[in-house]
Amino acid sequence: EVRLVESGGGKVQPGGSLRLSCAASGFKFNNYWMHWVRQAPGKGLVWVSRINGEGTTTTYADSVKGRFTISRDNAKDTLYLQMNSLRAEDTAVYYCARFQGGGSSDAFDIWGQGIMVTVSS
């Protein structure tokens, strides 16, 4: 079964850091671009970041650039999101998602269950 499972969420104070993990199973992890997408409570989906299969190319939304770092460990079939200098507006459910193809116009075909991150004092 193809599966993505996020972990590492929780409550953190403004200015703090948190690292999210996403464990993949059931598919050849290093063949796929992987993304993070977030959803603030009661709001829509917002794309956060992406990384290619080799882990050599990354892209970030302007709202997180310079604060968040996406990475992957293909030996462990795991995707990461290091989040620093967290702000209240980063409060959201964070989803990892598999990109179905090698092109930029493809879709997210597999999603994790999501993990809540709360930034509050």
The reply to whether 56 sits near another protein by the rule CB under 8 A is: no
59 near another protein (CB under 8 A): yes
Cβ-Cβ contacts under 8 Å for 80 (sequence gap 6 or more): 19, 20, 21, 22, 70, 71, 72, 73
As given in the structure block, the two tokens for residue 7 are 């972990």
Give the footprint of another protein on residues 67-106 (CB under 8 A). Answer: 95, 100, 104-106
Residue with Cβ nearer another protein (15 or 65):
65
Q: Contacting another protein (CB under 8 A), which of 18, 34, 70, 112?
A: 112
Write the CA distances from 63 to 23, 47, 85, 110, integer angstroms.
Answer: 25, 10, 12, 24
Summarize as ranges the residues that interact with another protein (CB under 8 A): 35, 37, 44-47, 50, 59, 61, 95, 100, 104-109, 111-114
